[in-house]
Amino acid sequence: MSELRKDPISGHWVVISPDQEAAVVLTTDVRFITPQETCPFCPGNEIGPVHEILAYPNHLPENNGAPWALRVIPNRLPILQIERSLEREGLGMYDRISGFGAHEIIIESPHHDLLLHDFPNSQLELVLSAWKERLNDLKNDLRMRYLSIFRNQGRRSGARLSHPYSQLIATPAIPAGVRQELTGARQYFEYKDRCGYCDLIDQECEDKVRLVYQNRGFIAMCPFASRNAFEVWILPRVHSHDYGTISPDQILDLADALLAVNRVLAIALSEPDINVILKSAPIPKPRRDRWLTLEEDYHWHLEVIPRITRPTGYEWATGMFVNPTPPEEAADYLRDVQANGR
Amino acid sequence: MSELRKDPISGHWVVISPDQEAAVVLTTDVRFITPQETCPFCPGNEIGPVHEILAYPNHLPENNGAPWALRVIPNRLPILQIERSLEREGLGMYDRISGFGAHEIIIESPHHDLLLHDFPNSQLELVLSAWKERLNDLKNDLRMRYLSIFRNQGRRSGARLSHPYSQLIATPAIPAGVRQELTGARQYFEYKDRCGYCDLIDQECEDKVRLVYQNRGFIAMCPFASRNAFEVWILPRVHSHDYGTISPDQILDLADALLAVNRVLAIALSEPDINVILKSAPIPKPRRDRWLTLEEDYHWHLEVIPRITRPTGYEWATGMFVNPTPPEEAADYLRDVQANGR
């Protein structure tokens, strides 16, 4: 029997509808691999002259003597550019802003064809460190309002290349979806005087039915109002609104949790296409104190979303998602695969 | 050069980024056709005993003696059911509602394989009348809060069958995406004391650069902050918050405009997969007057969205869409195809 569920923080409703036909589940027939010879992210193929934003030297034996272990470069075809000036303009009733911002590519490994669940821990720790470093650097530019870090793996997730990479996009405006979640988190805090995500972690650790994995620093769970089948969130146990504050110990634990989640999803769903999304608080704007107290009412986390269903006109029309797999069943299955499947 | 644009009513930002690679444009290689012999929507294949909600007798010669011209039935695998009771429940910090609601299928034609742009005007007028009739009937159930009518055409849009059909989903909660647009429309009205959509129609008719088509009752245009390439909105010139008030003359004009838009998109983009979405005001709730004055501040309309690009992790993370085709260029191309292409 189906039911509607409300996310306690963002306030969005979803329909959990297990009676739907399994036909919505997309299987990945052919692994997505783009040619290595022409891959712009492979060592030796670096397109010059590209300004290198960051590079970590290679000390890892598994990277076979590549000159770097991780590299951050500007996107060759950026959706926004840091070189442009920030200009706001009205056009009758409309508003626009020049394409100011940042769009960076984090080349996560010298290896061309490596899925996230096959990353060595040490390599993933480098990726998580690079995210922190780039986030903290870009935060200094106060014209920026929001920094989004995400990774696409597989064609259905939006990836263009099979070489593992993540992207950072910084915008001078707070995107609508983010604003909705922030507003909800603030309202929760104002009503309860507690962080909603901290409450959620407490309840999930008590209920246990939606838990997928936990370690010293993090819990991984299928959210109560999952928009997507087998969606998993990874949340730090210690409250912080800002990923930029992550400690070296937390990076070890997050790499462990992110790998565990991706490994179990890879087995359970046959290496699905997948998005990983970092949700962290926006950059406070000095002259507007609106988000200045966000330390209290936001809690950074990762969202891991296998792309196994396709949104229909209904999702596009309303923003209300129909999810055929109750998160309790998804978590139960993932725990079972973890216990027996490897 | 890219720019950020803000929708004047919902407030969402989009990135218009014409420098992106054309690779994001998906072409439909193979036309989506499901088998006619087993099609549950074809005359003669009706699955019994199915309660028929509405049927229009067939008077149209082009329907070759089919028993009905249009039929409305409950979805065989509904995401929500009207037979269930409406129960709201708290689970710790979480909220859920039983799967109460409605999920109907509007079988738009007896013909198995008919794309929207090939509909005769008279047949599409029946569809638009059925939408009105079902909307007005379900509005009487005050447990419902929002009625969404939409159609999926082609696999990428979420369609499961090639037989032309639309769907109606009624929910006991207002979906998050709808609430955001309603809130924006109300804020616009409160600030300006005018309907935002009426202002938008005025500005578009003056600017002309984003206009695609117009007739006596409607304008069709690519919105200033289009989330999707070649997205077209069709708006009634006369203000009304509720599709249920559409007049017979308006139905003639809307069928004409919707056909014109779909014909030009079919030529310009080689019969793309497409969603059509009806946006109308929610059902006022007697005991809460919150949306009771919506007559003034919402304006119903249709959104026609070709599915030629794929959202990436960024769109999922932030709700901020990246659109590679500026709406002015899209509209210019569509006007050109209309003038020369048929």
- Label the pairing between strands A68-74 and A88-91: unpaired
CATH architecture classification, B3-340: 2-Layer Sandwich (3.30)
User: What is the predicted pLDDT for the residue at B24?
Assistant: 46
Give domain limits for chain B: 3-340
**Edge-to-edge strand order for the sheet containing B13-16?**
A88-91, A94-98, B3-6, B13-16, B321-323
B207 contact A CB<8A: yes
ipTM of the complex: 0.89
User: What is the predicted pLDDT for the residue at A253?
Assistant: 98
Q: Mapped to the 3 state alphabet, what secondary structure does A237-274 carry?
A: CCCCCCHHHCCHHHHHHHHHHHHHHHHHHHHHCCCCCE
Residues of A in contact with B102 (CB under 8 A): none
Taking CB atoms within 8 Å and a gap of at least 24, the contacts of A40-48 are A40/A76, A40/A161, A41/A105, A41/A107, A41/A112, A41/A161, A41/A163, A41/A165, A42/A110, A42/A112, A42/A163, A43/A67, A43/A68, A43/A110, A47/A76
Residues of B in contact with A158 (CB under 8 A): 310-315
A106 contact B CB<8A: no
Residues written for chain A: 342
In whole angstroms, give the CA distance from residue A4 to residue A13: 6
Query: Angle CA(A200)–CA(A318)–CA(B166) in degrees, nearest 5?
Result: 135
Minimal CA separation from A120 to chain B, in Å: 23
B169 contact A CB<8A: yes
B308 contact A CB<8A: no
Taking chain B (342 residues) in runs of 10, the rounded mean pLDDT of each run is 93 88 54 87 78 89 86 90 88 92 95 94 97 95 92 90 95 90 91 93 96 98 96 97 96 98 95 95 69 72 94 89 95 94 60
Which residue carries 């090939």 as its tokens? B118
Which residue carries 């030009």 as its tokens? B264
In whole angstroms, give the CA distance from residue A180 to residue A188: 12
In whole angstroms, give the CA distance from residue B176 to residue B157: 21
Note the pTM of the prediction, 2 decimals: 0.92
User: What is the predicted pLDDT for the residue at A4?
Assistant: 95
- Nearest CA to B219 among B242, B244, B196, B202? B202
Local structure of B90: helix, strand or coil: strand
Local structure of A126: helix, strand or coil: helix
In whole angstroms, give the CA distance from residue A35 to residue A112: 9
| B window 16-75, beta carbon within 8 A of A | 17, 19-21, 23
Is there a contact between A239 and A299 (Cβ–Cβ < 8 Å)? Answer: yes
With an 8 Å Cβ cutoff, are B314 and A150 in contact?
Answer: yes
- List the single residue in A with minimal CA-CA distance to B171: A4
pLDDT by position in tens, chain A (length 342): 899 999 999 999 999 998 766 444 555 567 788 888 889 899 888 766 678 899 999 887 888 788 899 999 999 888 888 888 889 999 999 999 998 999 999 999 999 989 999 999 999 999 999 999 999 999 998 889 999 999 999 988 889 899 999 999 999 999 988 988 999 999 999 899 899 999 999 999 999 999 999 999 999 999 999 999 999 999 999 999 999 999 999 999 999 999 999 999 999 999 999 999 999 998 876 655 555 555 678 999 999 999 998 888 899 889 899 999 999 999 999 999 999 865
In whole angstroms, give the CA distance from residue B97 to residue B79: 13
A222 contact B CB<8A: no
